[in-house]
Structure 1
Amino acid sequence: MLLLYNFGIKIYYFLVYLFHFLNSKANYWIKGRKNIFQIIEKEVDASSPCAWFHFASLGEFEQGRPVMENLKKREPGLKIIITFFSPSGYELRKNYSGAEHIFYLPLDTKSNASNFIRLINPTMAVFTKYEFWYHYFNELNKRQIPLYIISGIFRQGQPFFKWYGRLNRKILSFVTHFFVQDEGSAKLLNSINLTNVTVSGDTRFDRVAENALQPKQFNEVKDFCSDRKIFIAGSTWPEDEKLISRLVELYPSWRFIIAPHEIKEEKIKAFINLLPNGSAVRHSQIIRHDSDIPFSKSTSVLIIDNIGMLSSLYQYAQVAYIGGGFGVGIHNTLEAAAFGIPVIFGPNFQKFLEARALLKIGGGFTIGNSADLEDLMMRLQDQEFRMRSGNIAGTFVRTQQGATSTILNFISR
């Protein structure tokens, strides 16, 4: 099985290399790893104690961020080294000031793992949610360096729990301790004789609750909102935007803030073409004005054509829609729920515990088509219903905090 794993890693690299001539993300992926070991050897002092935090992408970074930042507060002499697998994480957080070093993770081969861990020499390694790399985990185990999985989530259908998952189970055996989100994950790990498990919850609750207390302020967005009721749609895809464009026509008294998942020019133009003429303005347009920002009476849609604002924009809304539910899965519902507003999402939410919980208690709502969204929006015109649902969502987030403290009390003792 290990031979197949190694072969699969090589095939993956070959495919990414082929695509990097045509695809910008693949190009970042390849270029970001060029001469990576020379860079690490030059920049990192392996004699200084450090903690290695690895994140698949931006979402996992935000999820693991409370643990990383609070560990630094507890142990200020400990340096933080961050790695990302995905360009969408690295390129957006490569200048993050909370770490001494930030790199792309070299591909998981035996020699890469050995060289990387030798060069950074971490006192511990922390992986958030998922990404299970055989050679990195094995090398950490051989060097007796503690390896922690935080905010882990496991499902019955994963290879770890199948008859053919021997190598996958071997990878898990290298983990020093698992901090998982729910009892179901703990039971699954116990079923394969892994008892080094703590049900700590999800660190995202700590992160979004902290963000909701001190969100960034955007005066230009506040001016756009004026005294209108605000519908905000975050991380939207074209399927989501088709549905939302209909609401713009049906509810002229509302204003809409849309933060697309992809901000490529052709994607934004395609969305604007769905909207009534003259109804949309881009954020990049309004911030170019030095004085008062001109909004016409017909301007009802603000399109956020940059990255990094969304988590704080929910403060201005009465209703939130989270995109991705008509594709592979919804994006972050908790960022919106933390501000005490009802959350709407599409049908592909089953893999997300927090979305299922919000739906069950009445803080979240799922829709399957345009008619569902229009019916729900009609119900949300009732202020009492809207506020009750929002209060449920906000309370849910507040009561689920605490995972960060549980993890820190274990790994920094």
Structure 2
Amino acid sequence: MIVYRIILSLAAPVVALLYLLRRLRGRITAADLRERLGGGPHTTAPDAPHGPDAPALWLHAASNGELASARPLISALLARDPALRLVITTNSLTGRALAQGWNDPRIAARLAPLDYRPLLRRFLRRHRPAALLLIESDLWLNRIFTLHRAGLPVMVISARMSARSAARWQRVAPRLARQLMTRLHGVSAQDSATEDRLRALGLPETRRLARVNLKAAVTLPAPDPAERDACRRVFDRAHTVLAASTHPGEEEIILDAFARAQIHDPALRLILAPRHPRRGDEVRRLIAARGLSLRRRAAGEAPTANAAVYLADTLGEMALWFDLACSSFIGGSLVPLGGHTPYEPAQRGTAILHGPHLQNFAAIYARLDAEGGARQISDAETLARGFLMPSAEARVMADTARRIAAEEAGDGQLDDLVAYIARVTQVSRSG
């Protein structure tokens, strides 16, 4: 732990310079920077919703995906205790915007404080949480040790740890890993493999909670029926493919695959939805460079029948795009980023295509592939073949994926988990 803190201290000038440059370039505001430094508006002010003494719970989700998956848990916690207020932190501006978009007066959305003890203590004084819920991962050491020292429980919900991450902990810092595990009040793993890895790193058996996979249980909000009907008049599902949550290095392969597929099916249409909408200009240039006609969602352009590509560079509309596509490539899997959730496309009834990099969801993708609910591709040629999949074959694949997703979700024991969190939080407040 001392070595970690020394490294952080040495890195502080570099971190400060990076944030200063982001501020000067207009990528973050002064208010954003204050939140990263543990500041920002108080949630314990006298005029705060439900008063300054209402119980608070700090929930951290690194990105949009984790935060969206936590929505059922958040709703259940707020429904159980009408006086509860939630301080939700994320690492991204889009994640914070997602939480703010829920328009719940009991939710305060902030950027997460950097992992420096003075900033964390400042954050705790400002918001006075009774406990911290970490969604999936993002196990920053100072954050966990600081809360533990303050007597505040830290729980990890739907915990996920890849074999690679576990091996790195064992190789580089096994003693620190054991210390970290013993400072977690409770851990609900999302699968048995993660549970075994955490045990091997030193998680006490008494801290193990029932397994819950939030991403399997989450349901995307249904798209507006009128909007969906309008889009269906333009997109023939049998000839529409989607590339969802794509990253740099993937769009080039996707566009090359689409161009190849269009030779065999000139009616084929592509909806391209980058993981981060801020990359819209960059992706638009890639499309234009290939001479493909396009329309862009963020520019307010409705899809038309004569545009080959629809650039869906917006947030909160993925259910609509899944509903329109016969087959969907799920990004983060052709580049070594670990892949993104297959549960959402499975629930929406679209055939799933993916690359080889799947460590974030290895178990569910392995089952989908084995039972015919998904197909792995490796390059533009194999992706083009996937885009040309007959619609009848795609329907069988989609039905299989939907069945598997429903089986994986189960009841999730979410009610028991919510009761446990409420009990721990109450004890923390009274203690």
The interval holding the TM-score normalised by the smaller chain is 0.7 to 0.9
CA contact (8 A) 2:32 2:111 kept: yes
Pairing partner for 2:175 from 166, 180, 184: 166
Kept in 2: contact 1:179–1:200 (CA 8 A): yes
Once the two structures are superposed, the pairs formed by residues 110-125 of structure 1 within 5 Å of their partners are: 110-125=117-132
Q: How has the CA–CA distance of structure 1 residues 311 and 193 changed in structure 2, closer, same or farther, with 3 Å as cutoff?
A: same
Pick the aligned partner of 2:352 from 343, 368, 373: 343
Could you say which residue in structure 2 is the equivalent of 1:7? 6
Deviates more, 1:131-140 or 1:176-185: 131-140
1:14-413 alignment, distance < 5 Å: 14-20=13-19, 22-23=21-22, 27-28=27-28, 32-34=32-34, 36-37=38-39, 39-40=41-42, 43=45, 46-98=52-104, 99-157=106-164, 158=166, 159-162=168-171, 164-191=173-200, 192-195=202-205, 196-207=207-218, 210-211=219-220, 214-217=222-225, 218-219=227-228, 220-226=230-236, 229-237=239-247, 238=251, 239-262=253-276, 263-276=279-292, 279-284=293-298, 287=300, 295-296=304-305, 298-329=306-337, 330-353=339-362, 354-378=364-388, 380-381=389-390, 383=392, 385-401=393-409, 402-403=411-412, 404-413=414-423
Identity of aligned residues (%): 19
Alpha-carbon spacing, 1:338–1:105, altered in 2? closer, same or farther (3 Å): same
Offset, 1:343? 0.4
1:247 to partner: Cα distance: 2.3
Other structure's SS at 2:95 match: helix
Change in Cα spacing, 1:10 to 1:200, as seen in structure 2 (3 Å) is: same
Displacement of 1:13 in angstroms is 4.4
Q: Indicate conservation of the 8 Å contact 2:60/2:133, yes or no.
A: yes
Corresponding residue pairs, total? 399
SS of equivalent to 1:407:
helix
Residues 47-56 or 132-141, more deviating: 132-141
Indicate if the aligned counterparts of 2:322 and 2:349 stay in contact, CA closer than 8 A. no
Return the offset for 1:33.
Answer: 3.0
What amino acid is the match of 2:3? L
| C-alpha contact 1:186 1:198 (8 A) present in aligned 2 | no
Q: Secondary structure at 1:167's aligned position in 2?
A: helix
CA distance in 1, matches of 2:151, 2:64: 29
Alpha-carbon contact 1:32-1:104 (below 8 Å) kept:
yes
Answer whether contact 1:51 1:125 (CA < 8 A) is retained: yes
CA distance in 1, matches of 2:43, 2:322: 42
- Distance apart, 1:199 and its partner CA: 4.4
Could you say if the C-alpha distance between residues 107 and 19 of structure 1 is closer, same or farther in structure 2, counting changes exceeding 3 Å?
Answer: closer
Partner SS for 2:198: helix
Displacement of 1:42 in angstroms is 6.7
Q: Is the 8 A contact 1:186 1:199 kept in 2?
A: no
Cα distance in 2 for residues equivalent to 1:96 and 1:87:
15
Contact kept? 1:47, 1:121, Cα under 8 Å? no
TM-score, normalised to structure 2's length?
Answer: 0.83
Q: Work out the CA distance in 2 between the residues paired with 1:294 and 1:322.
A: 21
CA deviation map 1:367-401 (0-9, x unaligned)? 111222233344x2151x22211111111111122
| TM-score between the two structures when normalised by the length of structure 1 | 0.86
Deviates more, 1:6-15 or 1:314-323: 6-15
Contact in 1 for aligned 2:181/2:203 (Cα 8 Å): no
Shift of 1:282: 1.9
Residues 376 and 317 of structure 1: CA distance in aligned 2, closer, same or farther (over 3 Å): closer
Q: Aligned-pair distance for 1:146?
A: 2.5
Contact 2:44 2:128 in 1 (8 A): no
State the distance in 2 between where 1:118 and 1:69 align: 26
3-state SS in 2 of match to 1:162: helix
Secondary structure of 2:33 counterpart: coil
**Given the superposition, is the C-alpha separation of residues 65 and 17 from structure 1 closer, same or farther in structure 2, using an over 3 Å criterion?**
same
User: Cα–Cα, structure 1 residues 193 and 133, in superposed 2: closer, same or farther, change >3 Å?
Assistant: closer
Most deviating of 388-397 and 399-408? 399-408
CA deviation string 1:26-46 (max 9, x = no partner): 942875132743632774665
Listed as ranges, the gaps of 5+ residues in structure 2 are: 424-431
1:39 partner letter: P
CA RMSD of aligned residues (A): 2.8
Q: Secondary structure at the match of 2:173?
A: coil
**Unpaired stretches in structure 1, ≥5 consecutive residues:** none
Structure 1 CA distance for aligned equivalents of residues 237 and 243 of structure 2: 19
* 1:301–1:355 CA distance, 2 compared to 1 (3 A): same
Amino acid at match of 2:322: Y
Q: Distance in 1 between matches of 2:10 and 2:101?
A: 31
Cα distance in 2 between the residues matched to 1:68 and 1:126: 11
Distance 1:223 1:375, change over 3 A: closer
Name the CA distance, whole Å, in 2 between partners of 1:374 and 1:226. Answer: 18
Residue 115 to residue 190, structure 1, CA distance change in 2 (3 Å): same
Q: 1:245 to 1:160 in 2, by over 3 A?
A: same
